[in-house]
A and B are shown apart, each in its own frame.
Chain A
Amino acid sequence: MNKNADPGLSEVVSVALILTVLIITIAMTALIALPVMGTNADRVHNGDVLLEFCQMKADMDTVWLSNSTNITRQAVFTLSPAADRTEITVFPNLLSAASFGTVSLSYGIPHGEYAEVILTYTSSNMYAEDIEIIYDGGALFQNDRILLPGSVSGSGRYVVVVNTAEVAERSIGGAGVATLEYRLENIVSSGSDHLCVFRMELQ
């Protein structure tokens, strides 16, 4: 038997090896996995909020197409990936809390006492590229590129407007959700255009 043998050496080496593996795993997670997962979460949310705006446009089109006046409906916009998660997870959602967004309601082209409504979503993503979605009087734009045009009939348009005396401009930011309540009041003619007058509230 070697008198210089240290019976505790193997334990020390083993603990050092395990610690090394743990440190490498944590470092790789922080440097590679979290940015990849964060980018993916942001991009998925970019797509989801675009679908939420498309759904809102479809629902609003349905309201004026069916002339369903005085029925209040809601559209919900998720402002960040943190508000977007539906699956159950055992891990805290640390990476998605870094991104947030803003939804605003503002006036567009005026039509007398009415103004075309502009709903804008602007993201502030931590990892992925930012996105801007604009709903302008019935048309939907993604990063200044038209995605879904408004409805037309011959030379006339169907324009979604609000009464500026009744509907306030508003902006909501954060990482939660924003809710748009809207109700068709009536449809009036303005030249060749049809103004679909909505009452809206962003909250």
Chain B
Amino acid sequence: MIHKRDSGLSMAVGFVMILMIIAMIIGMWAVIGVPEQIRDAEEYHAIGVTNAFLDYKIAVDNQRLNGWVGSNISMLIPAASAYADGALFMKEDVGMLRVYIGGTENSTYNISRLYATFGTTNTLVGYEGGGVFRNDYGYAAWVTPPSITMETAGDDLYVTLIVPEMQGSFAVGSSEGIPVDTGLLSVPTQVLPPTNQTVVVTFTADDPWDASVWNTFFYEKAILYQNMGVNIMSDKPSINTTSLTIYPSVVGYIYLNVINPEYIVDVRRY
């Protein structure tokens, strides 16, 4: 009887198995670990971009609050991450804010948007109407909302609405940060005569998600000031429109001031 013995067979099989385990570890790292690392880095980057827009809001608010008319400031929006390029957009007239007094249109204000996208472009972070928002996959939320304040004095209600108007139009892509110059042109304040009629503020957006996020703003303000005794309600009559209705007290008046600072925004090309 012939016995074919190969004493090296088990070693060869063991060696191949070790190679397979190494290949499997490398494969799992490439398939699972690398995408996870990139996702974490993009999340971290999105927070950095959001913080940059918050700094931007603080800066332009300070320009207005301290009356630095004619001054400009420059800031870097870190749109690109270590893994992906980014882009910065400035769009005028993405929405329209209207003020109605007693059912009659009194004034209109164009709303503009400065925003950044990066990576898969599923996330937008930007500055609009005095607030900073973040939009993920078409669902947006305010990081910090626009400003409308109300104070009661006896039967009267004092309402102050701040509507920044940013002038400029650009779309810039970059593999680095994108410098933005912003100059304060003027700070007009429209003081409307006291009224004992209903005041309605409506926002009509080009994009339904934009109307939704403004509706959130109006809703939260309505809840806040209802708790303070103001007769106020929010509504969303269509997917592109939302409204905030303020009722005067029976014998009181509404004093509405609209602060409408004008800025000019441009990207630095170097």
B155 within 8 A of partner (CB): no
| Neighbour of B15 across the interface among A18, A151, A152, CB < 8 A | A18
Report A-chain residues with C-beta under 8 Å of the C-beta of B177.
Answer: 50-51, 54
The yes or no answer to A47 lying at the interface (CB within 8 A) is yes
What mask results when residues 46 to 72 of chain A are scored 1 for a CB within 8 Å of chain B, else 0? 010011001101110110011100000
Contact of B270 among A5, A44, A145, A153 (CB under 8 A): A145
Nearest CB in chain B: distance from A37 CB, A: 13
A67 touches B75 (CB 8 A): no
**By the criterion CB–CB under 8 Å, are B14 and A51 in contact?**
no
**CB distance B15 to A51 under 8 Å?**
no
Contact partner of B76 (CB less than 8 A), chosen from A5, A44, A145, A147, is A147
- Which A134-173 residues have a C-beta within 8 angstroms of B? 145-154, 158
Interface hub of B76, B82, B268 (most chain A Cβ within 10 A): B76
Inter-chain residue pair count (beta carbon < 8 A): 88
Query: Would you list which residues of chain B between 42 and 68 have a CB under 8 Å from chain A?
Result: 48, 52, 55, 58-59, 62-63, 65-66, 68
> Which label, helix, strand, loop or mixed, suits the secondary structure of the A interface?
helix
Residue of B nearest to A21 (CB): B19
A13 on the B face (CB < 8 A): yes
> Are B55 and A14 touching (Cβ within 8 A)?
no
The SS class assigned to the B binding surface is mixed
Report A-chain residues with C-beta under 8 Å of the C-beta of B62. 62, 65-66
Q: Which of B1-42 contact A (CB under 8 A)?
A: 3, 5, 7-9, 11-12, 14-15, 18-19
A157 to B73, CA, bound (A): 11
Cα(A158)–Cα(B177), bound, Å: 24
Contacts of A7 in B (CB 8 A): 7
Closest chain B CB from A14 CB (angstroms): 4
Q: For A145, list chain B residues within 8 Å (CB).
A: 270
Once bound together, how far apart are the Cα atoms of A1 and B55, in whole Å? 83
Say yes or no: A66-B66 contact (C-beta < 8 A), given A47-B82, A51-B48, A148-B179. yes
Name the residue of chain B whose CB is nearest to the CB of A48: B82
The interface residues of chain B lying within 8 Å CB-to-CB of A65 are 59, 62-63, 66, 68, 73
Contact residue range for chain A? 35 or more
A135 to chain B, nearest CB (A): 12
Taking a contact as CB atoms under 8 Å apart, the answer to whether B179 and A147 are in contact is: yes
B58 A62 Cβ-Cβ under 8 A: yes
Q: Which residues of B contact A149 (CB under 8 A)?
A: 74, 181, 268
Question: Which of A10, A145, A146 has the most CB atoms of chain B within a 10 A radius of its CB?
Answer: A10
Task: List B contacts of A14 (CB < 8 A).
Answer: 8, 11-12, 14-15
Between-chain CB contacts (< 8 Å), 8 pairs? A13-B11, A44-B82, A54-B76, A62-B55, A65-B62, A148-B74, A151-B72, A151-B74
Interface residues of B (CB under 8 A from A): 3, 5, 7-9, 11-12, 14-15, 18-19, 48, 52, 55, 58-59, 62-63, 65-66, 68, 70-76, 78, 82, 176-177, 179, 181, 268, 270
Binding site for B on A (CB under 8 A): 1, 5, 7, 9-11, 13-14, 17-18, 21, 44, 47, 50-51, 54-55, 57-59, 61-62, 65-67, 145-154, 158
